[in-house]
Amino acid sequence: MKNILKIEAFSGASGDMFLGALAGLADAYEELFDLPSILNLKNETEVLITDVKKNGISCKHVKIIDLVNEHHHRHLSHIIEIIKKSSLTENAKKIAIDIFNIIGKAEAEVHNIPIEKIHFHEVGAIDSIMDICGTAYLLDKLNITESYICSLTTGKGFVNTAHGLLPVPCPATKLIIEGFSYDFGNEEGEKLTPTGAAIINYLQPKRNCSDLIDIKTSYGAGEKNFNAPNVLRVSLCKKENISNELIVVEANIDDGNNEHLGVEFQNRLFEFGAIEFYYSQILMKKGRPGILLTVICKQENFNSITDFVLNFSTTIGLKYFTVNRIELKREIVNVETEYGIFRVKISYTPNGEKKIKPESEDVLNYAIKNNLNPKTLSQKILGAYEKGN
């Protein structure tokens, strides 16, 4: 089962906001009290959870209390050592380390020094370690397999940091969210922290939330107060239709032997991972008739497909672009008939209707071997399905 997370960071995001919001989704507020022991930090910190209202929205704020009250400037290696020695699951440890590495790489680039020499200031403090490790614990518990983000606000103006006055978003945050669409909002102040940005970067959420259906929603409060409610809203979602991002590869061919594009070439395309392909007649430069080869494949098969087309066709270049494909929810069932058992594909439309179709490969193979009309055989299979259902 896919566990889909939707993020609405309309008032930014921070470590404590993620911690509170995800704990609500996982019904795990009580488990947060065990975090200091899990991280072997029970003598340094404790967790305080309070009920708050932000512009009338009831939610919880998770605050990490520093019992030592010292300003730790930890190296990344020290933080990773804390994580590795903890009793988090291996997956949660990996998530936490990945998030800290995202921050470390950004800080190293901003200050132009090797990552191993970076001193973490705010994110090296005990509260940030707890926020990130707690978030990793909850993401692991929720088993998030896919994520989406509908809004991302950074704030604007300037903020005081250990490095002095910096613009919002601060340089490290700006690097971390490169490639993400965001807005500054209309209020002064830092709404998106490096920790919040790094968690979002780790999740690599997609942007289109239009086909998501919310199952459960939770809010996590931030410490500051703005005119807009300072909360992070997250939801567990499902999708009625399955949306896949695919790659379309195109090649124009006007100087080859069409015999070389026959069945053997087509079979090899399928072997290399083509989902579908087709030929189109086109008119190319200088009035030459040509063929447009279009191949649709998944990201993981892109290199093998393009290598094959470039190696075994006469084209000297390719075009490619990503597309989204929506699929109906479907299942394969076995149907017993007078001719034997055949596979039948059942697809479910958004209004609840069924589309029922015998698997063409099964039908054709049996029809050819037994000298039957494929259309007649398909009708008999459908009749057997209807009779049994």
Domains of the chain: 4-239 (no CATH), 243-327 (3.30.70.1380), 329-388 (no CATH)
96 DSSP assignment: H
Q: Closest by alpha carbon to 130, among 16, 7, 12? A: 16
- In the DSSP assignment, the letter for residue 68 is S
Q: DSSP E strands: which ranges in 29-154? A: 45-54, 57-66, 74-75, 119-120, 146-152
- The two tokens of residue 293 are 């080869």
- Given this model, what pLDDT does residue 122 score? 53
Compute and round to an integer the Cα radius of gyration of the chain.
28
Contacts of 164 (CB under 8 A, 6+ apart): none
CA–CA gap between residue 135 and residue 15 (Å, rounded): 8
**Res 200: pLDDT:** 98
pLDDT in tens, the chain (389 residues): 568 999 999 999 999 999 999 999 999 999 999 999 999 999 999 999 999 999 999 999 999 998 887 656 678 889 999 999 999 999 999 999 999 999 999 989 998 988 887 776 555 578 889 999 999 999 999 999 899 999 999 999 998 877 789 899 999 999 999 999 999 999 999 999 999 999 999 999 998 787 788 999 999 999 999 999 999 999 999 876 666 789 999 999 888 777 788 888 999 999 999 999 999 999 988 888 999 999 999 988 999 999 999 999 999 999 999 998 888 888 899 999 999 999 999 998 877 788 999 999 899 999 999 999 999 999 999 999 998 87
Q: Is 68 exposed, middle or buried (0-12, 13-18, 19+ CB in 10 A)?
A: exposed
CB environment 343-352: b (16+ within 10 A), e (fewer): ebebeeeeee
Q: Cα(41)–Cα(37) distance, rounded to whole angstroms? A: 6
What single DSSP character describes residue 12? B
Q: Give phi and psi for 187, each to the nearest 5.
A: -125, 145
pTM across the whole model: 0.65
Q: Tally the residues of the chain.
A: 389
Q: What is the per-residue pLDDT for 1?
A: 53
Backbone angles phi, psi at 118, to 5 degrees: -70, 130
